[in-house]
Amino acid sequence: MLRNMSNFSMLAPASVSDYRVLAKRKLPRMLFDYLDGGAFSEHTQAENRRAFTQWCFRQRVMSDVSQVDTSATLLGAQASLPLVMAPMGLAGMLAKRGEVQAARAGARAGIPFCLSTVGICSAEEVARGVPGADLWFQLYVLKDRGFSADLLARAWQSGFKTLVFTVDLARLGLRYRDVRNGMNGNLPLPAKVRKVLDLVSHPRWLVDVAIGGKPLTFGNLASVVPSGRKPEDFKAWVESQFDPSVTWNDLDWIRQNWPGKLVIKGIMEVDDALSAINVGADAVVVSNHGGRQLDGAPATLSVLPAIAGAVAGKSQVLIDGGIQTGQDLVRALCLGADGCLMGRPWGYALAAGGQSAVEDLLNNIRLETELTLSLMGKTSIGQLSRSDLLSLAEVQAMSSRAC
């Protein structure tokens, strides 16, 4: 088995699952499980992926597909793909100054990068590292409105022009893997010893991140959470700041403090999508937080068509949850999305090989998108529609009629 794994590491990763294997080998278990896991039994996380397998492409032939355009306009800006690198907390613990490396990869690929409030690198550091890039900033609903306003001002002044406001964390979801690994700090002594042994058994990570990646602070929150080396400190502060009392009526202060584009992330119902538009959202993200919040919620792809239909012409509709390939991207576009956010895959690639690995992943996704469009007889993203897919039920009905 070890010989097989060694041979695998010599291969060029071809898929997200390849990067996942490499990330699992490099990262301490606590960090890999934080990246890889979901809430409770992780049912919704699995459903996010399964939903894409329920749709088949309609293959069309003998069309001129010598030139295929995968570009799109996202919130008024041109992108090489209708894809955004989703916000990911603690990305700077996956690789040395991880958020900067990831943002550089996104800029080279010609797609937006969204920085998480709880990233290791600050908005200022990311902006300095990727001048001129299409940078988005993500913010949670926090009790301390003054701190939030200051954070928004910092992001805007640094060059971030799009705000992604996450609304599905009234309370932090229960993630069993994080509990088992001591992300909340509550571990008996034997488990603490195993945790230390796990850290020292990953020397590449220790050299690259724990030593070479300093300072390990939550860059945007350094004044309130001084250390990024203690996830329990981060967790305690975040849980104390999430505001379970907030309603749509409380969001006026966002528009008062943010002059740029506004995206509301965490929408799973038509009524909530319409409410988001009423408070001034330029786009909504159909999202169940990657299955990390309400386990048992439906897959995002399953609710996308209804939401996209309800807000058509009023705002752009983005989706996250389960997007791993260019083919996933095409399926989502056919079902009404204007674009997709992708999180875990770039996290796996970042952990596996830093900026160059993320660049390779994004290039693979572009090629997958271009190839899929070609084999569907399409030459641009704008030509896609629901009629370009067949549900499994439709395929079965066709088979029955043929018989």
Please tell me what DSSP assigns to residue 380.
B
Q: Hunting for tokens 């796996």 — which residue is that?
A: 348
The residues carrying an active-site annotation are 289
Q: How far apart are CA 167 and CA 141, in angstroms?
A: 6
Q: Hunting for tokens 């492409």 — which residue is that?
A: 57
Q: How far apart are CA 176 and CA 34, in angstroms?
A: 10
Q: Hunting for tokens 């975040």 — which residue is that?
A: 238
> How would residue 8 be classed by pLDDT, with cut points 50, 70 and 90?
very low
* β-sheet bridge partners, residue 136: 114, 162
Is the predicted pLDDT of residue 6 greater than 60, yes or no?
Answer: no
The three-state secondary structure class of 246 is coil
Q: How far apart are CA 78 and CA 84, in angstroms?
A: 12
Domain definitions of the chain by residue range = 22-397
Kindly report the three-state secondary structure assignment for every residue of 92-134: HHCCCCHHHHHHHHHHHHCCCEEECCCCCCCHHHHHHHCCCCC
**Neighbouring C-beta atoms of residue 396, cutoff 10 Å:** 11
Residue 242: what pLDDT? Answer: 74
Task: Please report, as a single letter, which amino acid is at residue 17.
Answer: S
* pTM tops 0.85, yes or no: yes
The three-state secondary structure class of 207 is helix
Cα–Cα distance list, 96 to 92, 121, 183, 343, 393 (Å): 6, 10, 21, 18, 47
Q: What is the pLDDT of residues 356-371, one digit of tens each?
A: 999 999 999 999 999 9
> How would residue 1 be classed by pLDDT, with cut points 50, 70 and 90?
very low
Q: How far apart are CA 290 and CA 320, in angstroms?
A: 7
What are φ and ψ of residue 328, in 5° steps?
-60, -40
Contacts of 389 (CB under 8 A, 6+ apart): 55, 56, 57, 58, 331, 334, 335
Q: What is the pLDDT of residues 134-158, one digit of tens each?
A: 999 999 877 888 888 999 999 999 9
**Neighbouring C-beta atoms of residue 174, cutoff 10 Å:** 12
Q: How far apart are CA 105 and CA 94, in angstroms?
A: 15
Please tell me what DSSP assigns to residue 165.
E
Average the pLDDT over each of 53-62, 221-230, 259-268 and give the range with the smallest value.
221-230
Is the predicted pLDDT of residue 2 greater than 50, yes or no?
Answer: no
Q: How far apart are CA 65 and CA 47, in angstroms?
A: 33
**What is the topology classification, in CATH, of domain 22-397?**
TIM Barrel (3.20.20)
Is the predicted pLDDT of residue 266 greater than 80, yes or no?
Answer: yes
> How would residue 9 be classed by pLDDT, with cut points 50, 70 and 90?
low
CB-CB contact of 357 with 350 (8 Å): yes
> How would residue 403 be classed by pLDDT, with cut points 50, 70 and 90?
low
Residue 111: what pLDDT? Answer: 98
Is the predicted pLDDT of residue 231 greater than 80, yes or no?
Answer: no
What mean pLDDT do residues 165-191 have? Answer: 84
